[in-house]
């Protein structure tokens, strides 16, 4: 009988140790019932500026956060208070919390070699920041919310978690009993836990909820306390502080993550010009249809034809220009010969005509008259040849201009066709990308929250 009683007591003790030690305070919640009431994670948005986790440092500091006191910066943790008596330290956000409804998740370790713990650490949401003092390394008369995680309550030497509000007038170091002002308390053992302990603080619908997970890696939360009718203003700072008494413990912060609960939907931006029309075209566009393919083939044919014609045109132009050059050369030679013949008849040279140094004489009849007639006939022939060459040259120039205009017009039509296809393809790509983004967002919301993204 005694053996059976011992086994029953041992079994109860093992269950108590694995689930945490609960005090008999009237504010306590039964762990089994609390686990049933643990709400599902609401829609939330991760705020990286109000969070930190490994790797902690950039240029030897935690971005958007400040540390002070006896803090030791490690690669695997931030030690707020080492296991040295009468040491304390803190880490505070440099950015104010802009959200009315929020959720924070803090992972930490409290370890020591002595039987009883050496004080503990505190979570803060206060109007002021970076104020050192006697309350777990921070100031006594704070304005806002504080959650004390006392790993060694001096009264019963048990772990104690307590939430308190202060308007900046209450001083608990002057003898006030904090239990009389507590919003709620619980006792869950986390000192020397084999795994990191997780603290979750949720402020939603004026309901303050505090959860603890002492061995489940953030997946086995148990409710510590709840209090309705709580109004916490926006624009306060988040922080964590710790201090060690005698005997002393190591107080390590591993991560601090903040999420906005029920974030508002993003406002639609004004549409750009013709955006709606392009969207409709994109929705209607399902690929290159037969008409577009025919236009592409026609444009390719025109380009090949123009290239072929361009080669022949160059050859014809070269032949014609050569013929015109020969004709002009012969004309110039004939003119020079006529000039010599005229000078032989006694006519003044071109230089004398220009200077006016000549006498006007009358041509005699007979041979001279016949010669002048021949010269006049030859001049008329040269004039006719020159006129024909000029007409031929103008005709060739006009033909070249026409072919160039045809080529330019075909190129323009081809560019318009390609531009239209390119625009439709881009519109279709944008539409597909938008649909994929919507599908991805819907998939993430279906799984729970977008926070899964950031934790991974």
pTM of the model: 0.53
- Only one residue has tokens 């002492």, namely 214
Six-digit token pair at 183?
Answer: 């919003």
Q: Which of 130-134, 202-206, 290-294, 354-358 has the highest mean pLDDT?
A: 202-206
Six-digit token pair at 267?
Answer: 């406002």
Q: Are 160 and 179 in contact (CB under 8 A)?
A: no
Six-digit token pair at 113?
Answer: 């070699």
What pLDDT, on a 0 to 100 scale, did the predictor assign at position 391? 79
What pLDDT, on a 0 to 100 scale, did the predictor assign at position 259? 97
pLDDT digits (tens, 9 = 90+) for 417-453: 777 777 777 777 777 777 777 666 655 554 444 443 3
Strands of 174-219 (E only): list them: 182-186, 197-204, 207-213
pLDDT digits (tens, 9 = 90+) for 21-70: 333 343 444 444 444 444 444 589 999 999 999 999 999 999 999 999 99
What phi, psi does 327 have (nearest 5°)? -60, -45
Is 138 exposed, middle or buried (CB count within 10 Å of its CB: 0-12, 13-18, 19+)?
Answer: buried
How much is the average pLDDT of 193-216? Answer: 95
pLDDT digits (tens, 9 = 90+) for 401-420: 787 787 778 778 777 777 77
What pLDDT, on a 0 to 100 scale, did the predictor assign at position 100? 95
Report the distance separating Cα 191 and Cα 26, nearest Å.
Answer: 24
Q: Are 141 and 170 in contact (CB under 8 A)?
A: yes
pLDDT digits (tens, 9 = 90+) for 368-389: 566 666 767 776 777 777 777 7
Residue 198, strand partner residues: 107, 213
Better pLDDT: 297 or 30: 297
Q: Which of 130-139, 175-184, 252-261 has the highest mean pLDDT?
A: 252-261
Q: Which of 3-7, 13-17, 39-43 has the highest mean pLDDT?
A: 39-43
Closest Cα partner for 88 from 98, 80, 78, 97?
A: 80
Six-digit token pair at 158?
Answer: 């048990």
CA gyration radius for the chain? Answer: 49
Q: Which residues, 6+ apart, have CB-to-CB distance to 322 below 8 Å?
A: none
Six-digit token pair at 394?
Answer: 């103008």
Better pLDDT: 220 or 275: 220
Q: What is the mean pLDDT of the chain?
A: 77
What pLDDT, on a 0 to 100 scale, did the predictor assign at position 58? 92
How much is the average pLDDT of 10-31? Answer: 40
What phi, psi does 434 have (nearest 5°)? -65, -45
Closest Cα partner for 73 from 87, 54, 47, 50?
A: 54
Helix 290-344 with 367-447: angle, nearest 10 deg: 160
* Helix, strand, or coil (residue 224): strand
What pLDDT, on a 0 to 100 scale, did the predictor assign at position 76? 93
- DSSP code at position 214: S
What pLDDT, on a 0 to 100 scale, did the predictor assign at position 41? 46
Better pLDDT: 37 or 133: 133
DSSP secondary structure string for all residues of 50-91: EEE-SS--BTTB-TTEEEEES-EE-SS-EEEE-SSTTEEEEE
Q: Are 296 and 417 in contact (CB under 8 A)?
A: yes
Sheet holding 160-167, edge to edge: 65-69, 87-93, 237-244, 120-126, 143-150, 160-167, 182-186
Report the distance separating Cα 320 and Cα 396, nearest Å.
Answer: 8
What pLDDT, on a 0 to 100 scale, did the predictor assign at position 430? 74
């Amino acid at each position: 009988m005694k053996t059976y009683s011992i086994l029953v007591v041992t079994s109860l003790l093992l269950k108590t140790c694995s689930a945490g030690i609960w005090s008999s305070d009237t504010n306590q919640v039964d762990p089994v019932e609390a686990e049933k009431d643990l709400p599902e994670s609401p829609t939330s948005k991760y705020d990286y500026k109000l969070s930190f986790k490994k790797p902690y440092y950039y240029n030897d500091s935690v971005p958007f956060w400040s540390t002070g006191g006896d803090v030791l910066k490690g690669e695997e943790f931030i030690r707020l208070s080492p296991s040295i008596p009468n040491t304390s330290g803190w880490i505070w956000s440099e950015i104010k919390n802009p959200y009315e409804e929020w959720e924070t998740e803090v992972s930490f370790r409290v370890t020591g070699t002595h039987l009883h713990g050496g004080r503990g650490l505190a979570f803060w949401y206060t109007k002021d920041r970076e104020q050192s003092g006697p309350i777990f390394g921070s100031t006594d008369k704070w304005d806002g919310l504080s959650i004390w995680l006392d790993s060694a309550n001096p009264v019963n030497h048990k772990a104690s978690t307590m939430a308190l509000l202060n308007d900046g007038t209450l001083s608990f170091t002057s003898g006030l009993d904090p239990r009389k002002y507590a919003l709620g308390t619980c006792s869950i053992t986390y000192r020397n836990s084999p795994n990191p302990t997780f603290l979750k603080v949720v402020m939603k619908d004026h309901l303050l909820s505090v959860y603890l997970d002492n061995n489940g890696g953030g997946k086995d939360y148990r409710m510590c306390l709840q209090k309705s009718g709580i109004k916490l203003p926006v624009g306060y700072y988040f922080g964590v502080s710790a201090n060690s008494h005698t005997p002393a413990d190591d107080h390590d912060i591993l991560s601090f993550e903040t999420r906005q609960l029920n974030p508002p939907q993003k406002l639609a931006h004004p549409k750009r010009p013709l955006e709606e029309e392009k969207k409709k075209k994109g929705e209607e566009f399902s690929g290159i249809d037969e008409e577009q393919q025919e236009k592409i083939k026609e444009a390719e044919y025109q380009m090949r034809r123009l290239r072929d014609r361009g080669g022949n045109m160059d050859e014809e132009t070269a032949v014609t220009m050569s013929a015109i050059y020969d004709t002009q050369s012969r004309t110039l030679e004939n003119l020079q010969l006529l000039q010599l013949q005229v000078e032989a008849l006694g006519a003044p040279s071109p230089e004398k005509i220009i200077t006016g140094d000549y006498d006007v004489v009358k041509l005699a009849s007979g041979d001279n008259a016949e010669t002048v007639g021949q010269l006049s006939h030859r001049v008329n022939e040269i004039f006719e040849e020159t006129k024909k060459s000029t007409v031929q040259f103008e005709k060739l120039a006009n033909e070249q201009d026409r072919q160039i205009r045809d080529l330019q017009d075909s190129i323009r039509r081809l560019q318009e066709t390609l531009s239209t296809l390119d625009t439709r393809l881009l519109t279709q790509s944008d539409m597909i990308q938008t649909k994929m983004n919507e599908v991805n967002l819907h998939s993430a919301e279906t799984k729970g929250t977008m926070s899964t993204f950031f934790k991974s």
